[in-house]
Every structure is written in C-alpha cells, then in structure tokens.
Amino acid sequence: MIWGSLVSPSSPWVGAVTLAIIIVSIARRKEPIGGLLFYYLGDLPIGLFWGFALILPEVNPYALAGDTRSYAWSLGIVVPFTIARLVEALVIWRGSFLPTARTSAVILLTKRLMWVQVGMAVLSITVHALWLPKFIIFDLVSILHVAFWLPYLSRSKRISRVFREPGNSEKRLQSCPAELPKR
C-alpha cells in the first residue's frame, strides 16, 4: 500500500515536485527553454507517472475494490493514454534538448498528438460515463492538459523563437545566446 500513499493527490511529494518545477521554471524564464516551456517539459513526467501508477493494481480504484472486469476496462483506456503521453514527451523532449532538432515539425507533431489525446478523452468519457464513473476525473484532467498547452504551443512567442524551420540555424543560434559557437 506504499504506492497509494505516494501517488495520492494529498501526498506531500506531489506538491513538492510541482513546487520545484515552478521554481526552476521561474528561475529559467530568460533561457530559451525556460518559463512555461520548461514547466510543460516538467509537467509531462508527472502525467506519465500518474498514467503508469493507474496501471498498478495497488493504485487503480477498480482493482482496489476487487472489480477485475472494470479494472480490465480501465487498463484499456489508461494504457493508450499513457502511451500517447509518452510519445508526446519523447517528441518534445528530443526537440527541446537537442538544439539541432528544434524545428517547427516538432511542435506540429506534438500538437497532433494532443489532438489524438482529445479524441481518446472523448471516447474515454463516453466509456467512463456508462461503465467506469470513478475515472471521469482523469479524463477531465487530460482535457485540461490539452486545453492549456495546445494554445500555448500555437501562440507562444518563445515557441516560435526556439522552434524554427530547418535552415534557420544562424537565427536560432542568435536567439539562444548560451549556444553560440566560440570564435
């Protein structure tokens, strides 16, 4: 039962990790990968953690209640969501931490993955409303994730400055002073 106390929303670890990400995001706000972009990159592992945690029988509310059929249904929804979030994380992390991969294609692919998550959330809400009402809150959290980050990725000046078209490497280096080559 240690997992239940670790991943509970009232766990001090959840607040401490979130606070640490906020502090680092504020401290890095002048960096190319800083501010809300850094918070987004830090938010993804938290979503992955929750997804992987809900797969475990020690955390899943249906498994805890002994309802194996509902647990199997919940896995059929949680596992694809977690895989989609993992792919989203890998795409954006690669584009963020490898300066040569910082292209607009990374953002376009990330936004498409978010739209896939919206479609999965709508399907998931339908299934949960009919058979698994305890999980509707997780669907709403997924929709809130996309509702906040999709407009940010579409309209942010930082995103358009950091993730540019291929061939603009000189401009990209000028907008990221920490990465200027030494002469």
pLDDT (tens digit, 0 to 9) for every residue of the chain, 183 residues total? 444 445 555 567 777 888 888 899 999 988 888 899 999 998 888 888 888 888 888 877 778 778 887 788 778 888 888 898 899 999 999 988 888 888 889 999 999 999 988 888 888 888 878 877 777 877 787 788 889 999 999 999 899 888 886 555 445 445 555 554 454
In a domain, 178, yes or no: no
Q: Are 111 and 104 in contact (CB under 8 A)?
A: no
Structurally, the chain folds into a number of domains equal to 1
Q: Would you state the structure tokens that stand for residue 45, as one six-digit string?
A: 């592992």
For the chain, how far is it from start to end, CA to CA, in angstroms? 57
In a domain, 171, yes or no: no
User: In the prediction, which pLDDT does 164 show?
Assistant: 80
Contacts of 55 (CB under 8 A, 6+ apart): 75, 78, 79, 82
- Name the pTM for this structure: 0.73
Range of the domain at 82: 2-165
User: In the prediction, which pLDDT does 119 show?
Assistant: 87
In a domain, 155, yes or no: yes
In a domain, 183, yes or no: no
In a domain, 135, yes or no: yes
In a domain, 6, yes or no: yes
In a domain, 96, yes or no: yes
Largest separation between any pair of C-alpha atoms in the chain: 66
In a domain, 23, yes or no: yes
Phi and psi for 168 in degrees, rounded to 5?
-100, 35
